[in-house]
Structure 1
Amino acid sequence: MNLPQHPNPWQTVSTRETYANPWIRVREDQVLKPTGGPGIYGVVEYKNIAVGVIPIDAEGHTWLVGQWRYCHGSYEWEIPEGGCPAGESPAEAARRELLEETGIVASTIEPLLSGIQLSNSTSNEVCDIFIATGLTHTEAQPEDTEQLEVLRLPLAEAIQMARDGRIRDSVSVLALLAVAGRGDLIA
């Protein structure tokens, strides 16, 4: 089914940067709204693409990463995930994040979802999600901003955690539900 496409009803009058760091840029646009009246639109621009990866071993288990999430003030369980800077492919970034966070090396990285818009009303952040198989193990190499706990569990249990709210990270929930929808990966 071809969905209808529509022209942009917003008109940008001016743009100014209000904040920037190595990961994000925040801008405020003066706009004419679709109704024609003046307004402002705040946009968070991400400098990296987000990547997530679900490692699945031959026994049908996966790994979650637990860490304190500063913005939400809570400890969260997630699939391994991180950022893909310019010049690195999303698949290679997924491999790197998997190694850094869990110590897992994957012989195969398969795309699961691509170009997912994580918060399209306020940011341009997109995410590519992968499945990793053919796993071997070495030592994790977390960044200095990460204090991680790694948990191996049945993939079906991780999917249930996404369904019942024990996993709340949007990338993780989306990835686990997409894997559940495939059905061929659950032991």
Structure 2
Amino acid sequence: MMRWTVHSEETLYQDKWVHLLTADVELPDGRHLDHRLIRTSAAGAGLVVVEDDKVLLIWRHRFITDTYGWEIPLGSIEPGEDPATAAAREAEEETGWKPHGPIEPLLYTQPSPGLMGSEHYLFRANAATYTGPPSDDFESDKVDWVPLGDVYDLIRDRQITAGTTLNALLMVLANTR
């Protein structure tokens, strides 16, 4: 078996959002690594809203990579909150569109399991109603309904690069063929 064994973990930094640790990890061949890992405080929930062959996306800047790109609405699940409810709440807060009808599970993903313990629960809805400007207006420069047929080109042109968004949109496209 190729299982790595964790002998110890030590906190390097922790706040309400992130927990950075160092771990003494033994590889299957007996070598040890001083590995870093990140644990996030809450799981995330995201929603892909597809209506009339268009997907609801936000165009946003990510300061860490200093890049812009299209993303699905995604945010933290509040304590005691159901992931589907969190996904719908985040979608409305970030886009101003309230999903309605069934909110179906789409996929579960761990964005970077070699570095962090982060979980994303993703859902799909097939309708939404505009309720007004996004309450989280700091999240994006614009909100738009993007044709599903444009998604492959946007990925190729590096306008969609966020891993969770890629997973979600490619799953939607795979299920529409």
TM-score, normalised on structure 1?
0.84
Matched, 1:40 2:63: no
- Residues 133-173 of structure 1 deviation map (CA, whole Å, 9 limit, x = unaligned): 23111122106x53441112222223442355321111111
Aligned residues: 175
Q: Which runs of 4+ in 1 moved over 4 A?
A: none
Q: Distance in 1 between matches of 2:96 and 2:131?
A: 5
Matched, 1:183 2:176: yes
- Residues 25-49 of structure 1 deviation map (CA, whole Å, 9 limit, x = unaligned): 1111123332213321211011111
Structure 2 residue runs of 5 or longer lacking an equivalent are: none
The alignment-based identity, stated in percent, is: 29
Q: Distance in 1 between matches of 2:56 and 2:83?
A: 20
Q: Does the 8 Å CA contact 1:117/1:124 hold for their aligned counterparts?
A: yes
Question: Which residue number in structure 2 is paired with residue 87 of structure 1?
Answer: 80
Q: Distance in 2 between matches of 1:32 and 1:148?
A: 45
Residue 7 of structure 2: SS of its match in structure 1?
strand
The residue identity in structure 2 corresponding to 1:112 is: L
Question: Which residue number in structure 2 is paired with residue 149 of structure 1?
Answer: 142
Structure 1 residue runs of 5 or longer lacking an equivalent are: 1-5
Residue 56 of structure 1: SS of its match in structure 2?
strand
The residue identity in structure 1 corresponding to 2:122 is: I
The residue identity in structure 1 corresponding to 2:119 is: V
- Residues 68-87 of structure 1 deviation map (CA, whole Å, 9 limit, x = unaligned): 10111112211111222332
